[in-house]
Amino acid sequence: MSYIVETKNLSKSYRTGDQSLSVLEDIDLQVSQGEILSIVGTSGAGKSTLLHVIGTLIRPTTGEVLIDGQDVFRLSDHKLSRFRNERIGFVFQFHHLLPEFSAEENIMLPLLIGGAREGDARKRARELLHSVSLEARASHHPSELSGGEQQRIAVARALATKPAVVLADEPSGNLDEDTSEELHQLIWDVRSETGQAFVIVTHDALLADRADRKVVLHAHRLATDPGPVKVGA
């Protein structure tokens, strides 16, 4: 069986003087097409590090990461950067929208960076603005949007290039309960409409339990990984 994301014997450690600090140890993880996977664990367990390694923002010490069948860390830095832009979407707790650009322009950016024509990028951005119900806010800058609206734009931007997987790090951690629920529903709606795979690091128990599958990081290892399940089961 092929997976959208697969890690094999993944480990990450850092040198601190004469000592080695282990952050991840022997992580074997698989994510299927259209699956929503949640990752939970105590602070310091390595959740964000794992997400950043899968997202190719951090190189592992040992092991492999395959995304859409590509062994990503065998790519050159230039090709890896291009792959990341095209095949991986990111949503963070703090949206990281660029303040000088409008909502529409923020969504266009990954496409323009990838070499898309401006007209094509704008058309895709408008499609995504419609999908997140924010067409009327297209020309607004982040400072003119609510926190929930900013995160919806961040989700739209993450989807711009039709990535293999969207990685979300505490996507609703900065939102109130009602706005969080709206964001969570958006994620499920996107999955239903597009078959998009999501990997979500969260402290939100309701969000974690709603996922198709939940894995637990404990002491830098996967404590629970029952394996891929039928999406929607």
Q: Which alpha helices (H) appear in 55-195, and where do they start and end?
A: 77-87, 103-113, 118-131, 147-159, 177-194
pLDDT score for 119: 92
Q: Write down the CATH superfamily of domain 5-224.
A: P-loop containing nucleotide triphosphate hydrolases (3.40.50.300)
pLDDT score for 169: 87
Q: Is the model's pLDDT at 231 over the cut of 90?
A: no
Between 69 and 17, residue with greater pLDDT: 69
pLDDT score for 56: 92
Q: What is the pLDDT of residues 97-108, one digit of tens each?
A: 899 999 999 999
Residue 1 binned pLDDT confidence (cut-offs 50, 70, 90): low
Q: Is the model's pLDDT at 194 over the cut of 60?
A: yes
Q: What is the pLDDT of residues 158-170, one digit of tens each?
A: 989 899 999 998 8
pLDDT score for 65: 94
Residues listed for the chain: 233
Residue 92 binned pLDDT confidence (cut-offs 50, 70, 90): confident
8 A C-beta contact, residue 25 and residue 50: no
Q: Is the model's pLDDT at 44 over the cut of 80?
A: no
- Average pLDDT for residues 104-125, to the nearest whole number? 92
pLDDT score for 203: 87
Rounded-to-integer distance, Cα 107 and Cα 126, Å: 9
Q: Is the model's pLDDT at 177 over the cut of 90?
A: no
Residue 147 binned pLDDT confidence (cut-offs 50, 70, 90): confident
C-alpha distance across the termini of the chain, in Å: 18
Other Cβ atoms closer than 10 A to 124: 20
Tokens of 48: 């964000």
Domain ranges of the chain: 5-224
pLDDT score for 2: 73
| Residue 198, helix vs strand vs coil | strand
| Model confidence, pTM | 0.87
